[in-house]
A and B are shown apart, each in its own frame.
Chain A
Amino acid sequence: MKKILAVDDSPSMRQMVAYTLKRAGFEVYEAEDGVEALEMARELDVDLVLTDINMPKMDGIELIRSLRGLPAYNGKPILTLTTEGSMESKMKGRDAGATGWIVKPFDPETLVATINKVL
């Protein structure tokens, strides 16, 4: 089973993502900020990271940058969750090394389809 790490500071968003992905047959781990995510990512060696951008402690951008610095995550898919169609945050994510983005609010199918696209 493919492992996905879902990072978001909003518990409801995290729950939604986790619920959707679990139903789609993924093994889902949750982290509430970049710091926690980085720690979990190191330990778990997940197949994909899905992260929010705006978070306390360590934001998504920094998380992506840190992950890309780890050999295990060089080339692994990392997707950002951006709330609006804001080009700026999409680009920031990509410049940091994100594979791509998913626009919130997403419907469950789009989320799963997008993730299947890169896994």
Chain B
Amino acid sequence: MSMDMSEFLEVFFEECSEGLDVMETGLLNLGNGEVDVEEINTIFRAAHSIKGGSATFDMVEIAGFTHVMETLLDQMRSHEREVTTAAVDLLLESVDCLREMIDAARDEEPIDEKRVDDLKKRLEVMLENKEEGADAASEPEAETPATESAEGPKKGWVIDFYPQPDILKTGNEPYRLFDELRQLGELNVVCNLNKIPDFKNFDPEQNYLGWRLQLITTVNEQRVREVFSWIEGDCDISITPLSDEASARESKADAAPTAEAQAAPTPQAEANAETSEPAPKAETPAPQAAAAEKPAPAAPAAEAEKPAAKKPAKAKKKPSGESGSIRVSIEKIDSLINLVGELIITQSMLSQFTDEFDMSQIESLRDGLSQLTRNSRELQETAMQIRMLPISSSFNRFPRLVRDMSSKLGKKVDLVISGEGTELDKTVLEKIADPLVHLVRNSLDHGLEMPEKRRELGKPETGTIELKAYHEGGNIVIEVVDDGAGINKERVFQKAVENGIIAPDEKLTDEEINNLIFEPGFSTAEVVSDISGRGVGMDVVRRNINELGGQIYIISEEGKGSTISIRLPLTLAIIDGQLVKVGTETYVIPMLSIDESLQINPKLIKKYKGKIDLYKLRDEYIPVLRLHKIFGLQTDVTNFEDGLLVVVEAERKRVGLFVDELQGQQQVVIKSLEKNFRKVDALSGATILGDGTVALIMDVASLIRQHLLSQGKITNTSLEAA
């Protein structure tokens, strides 16, 4: 039977990577002192699955490597081996190596054999150190291949078979065993009825029979025993060679049929043929014919089997990037299907209204439409859900990262993760991974103090880094919290002045100073370490977050620690938007960037340097951008008192957008401009409104950058000071 295994490979690889995550998480938990047997069991199971799968898919190296890991884990599980840090470290390293092997297999690249061999040896050395034969005994017991022994064939066997009374309960029907024996040769069955009790004591579910079987065959005793292997111990069985004279007589008469039976390719024979030598050696003159015949049917089978198993390993589907496939729970799909069902009901309800519509039906039409609205909104939400994955897939890598890093830095850290079940869009999730790593590294490297320093300060020696995720409104908030040194505002301020980010005489609030660390060209680390100073600054982190339509800011208290908050939209495909009118055009401003909208009091407008309007919003002056000017539109609304001001914020800068009027808020589906036209500054995309017109979606951050900072060379300072 040839099978295209490639179908399953994708699933297998995905499963492997999940399994590896499970192993890693588990191993890290083991490192924390208390040894939890269930934890080891979980790790063991994951290793076990990978081993089983890789063997099935003919990935010999992976299977072999995992086997050694599994053996080590098995010893831990059965308390034969202590869970030492050294062992955990070695296993963690092996997990890394295994991950590389699996990636290599997926990408059809060669594996780093030296590293694999090296690690495997180290694992083996560790295994040998503890067990010294005591346990080694359980190993070789594994698989004794069922090759015909050199002992030479008897003419047959007499088998006395007396199963236990409850043999039938396990589903082991004796007649099936007889069928199997018949495939090995000619079988003669004699039943022994001696043990049948009288009717009163007769239990119909019990077996009272015994048998004497005469099997005329050339196979050895072991092969015969194999037939009974499932019930070994549940029956009395004795196998003795068929007495010579009887067999001589029998074999003469039955040489031909015996040979035939032998030639029939039993599964066993084929398995043998596939794995080792093509066929058992010819042993006696009688079955010579059979032996000669045997390789013929077996060999093609072996050949057919081999390439079938090999080919898919070569002709693997190229995974299309990280996001090739996604695993969705049945639940989500079921609710989706359920909603589609409801949609169809609504549709059939609405289709009643045909040409002969009369006004008396208006009420039910309205009901139908509102139902349709509800259906489609739910459908949209549920469809979005499919792309949502728990953030744990991103958080999971941190225990390891923190462990490795803290030992490198000589710091003591507890990593506390919460909200790992919070779901967000897969694309967002993938893009957030690197910035998060950077932030955590940063907290560890620059935030947390060395243990001695912490002791001096009266803090616990072990620092804490918290990773949190939670939903707030339509957003997801991710926080990295540490109880380290916090931000040294003076130094940050100085540095910002040195790097020309701010003027020396600028007055900034504490919060503003803290957030200077996200400015381009800013880096406080005095010594660039190999951990966080890798040329990627916090400005890159902020840019990445902004690109996802999110925001980042830091709250820090000197000496107590910092909290970095990232606020992200749940999905990139749909946003909540405010529709605004400018001239004849409608624009969409993402709700996330809007602080407030207000009617303009002309008295609060001031001209700065004669060309830029500033609006006094409570205690602060914000620049006003006339959208009709920026976008070059004709409008009747040019006086401040006639229009409205939408206060937006991006990258910690606030501006007022002067628009003709506000139109309404709605969810808009983002259509890419880049894909359909080209990248346009200050716009992040377009959408199609209910009436079919196209509205452009504003990219507030880039709008502010371009039309404010470049134009008037206005920095925050001058605005604040004005």
Contact residues of A with B, CB < 8 Å?
Answer: 9-13, 15-16, 19-20, 23, 54-56, 68, 74-78, 83-88, 91, 94, 97-101, 103-110, 112-114, 117-118
Contact = CB atoms under 8 A, between A and B. Distances in A.
A74 B205 contact: yes
A100 B231 CA distance: 8
Given A56-B42, A56-B45, A84-B142, A75 B205 contact: yes
B55 A105 contact: yes
Q: Helix, strand, loop or mixed for chain B's interface?
A: helix
Contact of A109 (B138, B173, B179, B267): B267
Interface residues of B, number: 47
Interface stretch (B46-54, B418-426, B446-454): B46-54
A54 B205 contact: no
A113 B55 CA distance: 20
Contacts of A23: 1
A108 B56 CA distance: 10
A101 B144 CA distance: 16
B176 A104 contact: no
A118 B179 CA distance: 10
Interface stretch (B163-171, B337-345, B553-561): B163-171
Given A9-B49, A75-B171, A105 B56 contact: yes
B44 A94 contact: no
B267 A110 contact: yes
29 contacts: A9-B45, A12-B12, A13-B52, A13-B56, A15-B7, A20-B1, A54-B44, A54-B45, A56-B42, A74-B169, A76-B171, A85-B142, A85-B143, A85-B144, A86-B138, A86-B141, A91-B233, A94-B170, A94-B230, A99-B172, A100-B172, A105-B52, A107-B271, A108-B1, A109-B267, A113-B267, A114-B267, A117-B179, A118-B176
Given A68-B169, A99-B170, A107-B309, 16 more contacts: A10-B49, A13-B49, A15-B8, A74-B169, A78-B171, A83-B48, A84-B67, A85-B144, A87-B138, A87-B141, A94-B234, A103-B143, A107-B271, A109-B1, A114-B267, A117-B179
Interface string B192-232: 00000000000001000000000000000000000001110
A54 B48 contact: yes
Interface string B136-151: 0010011110000000
Given A54-B48, A56-B42, A11 B141 contact: no
Given A54-B45, A100-B230, A117-B179, A10 B52 contact: yes
A20 B1 CA distance: 9
Contacts of B719: none
Contact of A83 (B51, B172, B205, B234): B51
Contacts of A91: 233
Nearest to B144: A85
Interface in B535-585: none
B15 interface: yes
Nearest to B309: A107
Contacts of B45: 9, 54-56
Nearest to A91: B233
A101 B1 contact: no
Contacts of A77: 171
B48 A11 contact: no
Given A75-B168, A110-B271, A118-B171, A12 B11 contact: yes
B53 A97 contact: no
Interface in B490-541: none
Contacts of B229: 100
A88 B179 CA distance: 27
A13 B172 contact: no
Contacts of A15: 7-8, 11
Contacts of B231: 94
Contact of B142 (A76, A86, A110): A86
Contacts of A16: 5, 8, 56
B171 A99 contact: yes
A117 B393 CA distance: 44
Contacts of A108: 1, 3
Contacts of B309: 107
A70 to B, nearest CB: 12
B445 interface: no
A77 to B, nearest CB: 4
Nearest to A113: B267
A13 B53 CA distance: 7
B171 A19 contact: no
A10 B230 contact: no
B623 to A, nearest CB: 56
A46 to B, nearest CB: 12
Given A85-B141, A113-B267, A75 B56 contact: no
B180 interface: yes
B270 interface: yes
Contacts of B3: 19-20, 108
Nearest to A48: B171
A9 to B, nearest CB: 7
B573 to A, nearest CB: 28
A10 B15 contact: yes
B305 interface: yes
Contact of A104 (B56, B172, B233, B305): B56
A91 B138 CA distance: 13
A118 B653 CA distance: 75
Contact of B170 (A88, A97, A106, A117): A97
B93 to A, nearest CB: 23
Nearest to A77: B171
A31 to B, nearest CB: 12
Contacts of A114: 267
